[in-house]
Amino acid sequence: MPDIDVVNSHILSLLQDDGRMTNAKLSERLGMSETPCWRRLKRLEESGVIEGYQANLNRRKLGLGVMAFVQLRCSEHDQAATAEFQRIVETTPNILSCHNTTGADDFLLIVVARDLDDYSSFVDSTLRRLPGVTSIRSNLSLKEMKASNKLPVLPPAAS
């Protein structure tokens, strides 16, 4: 894994703002020549610090007006039930993320749907059929105040 020095943290911050930035523009913004900039970028990609590039889409403009935070409690935790649960979660496009959590519930999901009727159908057709699920609690987002996939990239502390 490459060191996340000041230059690498700047590269990562710039690319989180604009993932389509060319190497020429990136090197210009960093005040360095293109070849060392390209080498640093390749090391960050090859080490897995940069996992990939994607477009950020507006869910509402795609007709996905409902966002729900769903807490699930499960009674089955054996290997087969867990594997089937994970397979269904990973292949269901309406589930944006799933976290195994501490506390009273086992999982927290972020789910999108067109509207409340669509969400209700999703609960019936998908969530209630997940293996071992004994409790489903939904919280609907009334207003999204912040949405970001940008991670804080901190340069190393001065010693």
Domain borders along the chain are: 6-46, 60-140
Q: What is the pLDDT of residues 107-151, one digit of tens each?
A: 999 999 999 999 999 999 999 999 899 999 999 999 999 999 999
Q: What band does 2 get if pLDDT is binned at 50, 70 and 90?
A: low
Class of the domain covering 6-46: mainly alpha
Q: At which residue do the structure tokens 């020429």 appear?
A: 24
CATH number of 60-140: 3.30.70.920
Q: Which of 67, 81, 70, 91 is nearest to 135 (CA)?
A: 70
- Count CB neighbours of 101 within 10 A: 12
pLDDT of residue 78: 86
- Count CB neighbours of 26 within 10 A: 20
Mention every residue, 6+ apart, whose C-beta is less than 8 A from residue 52: none
Give the type of residue at 60.
R
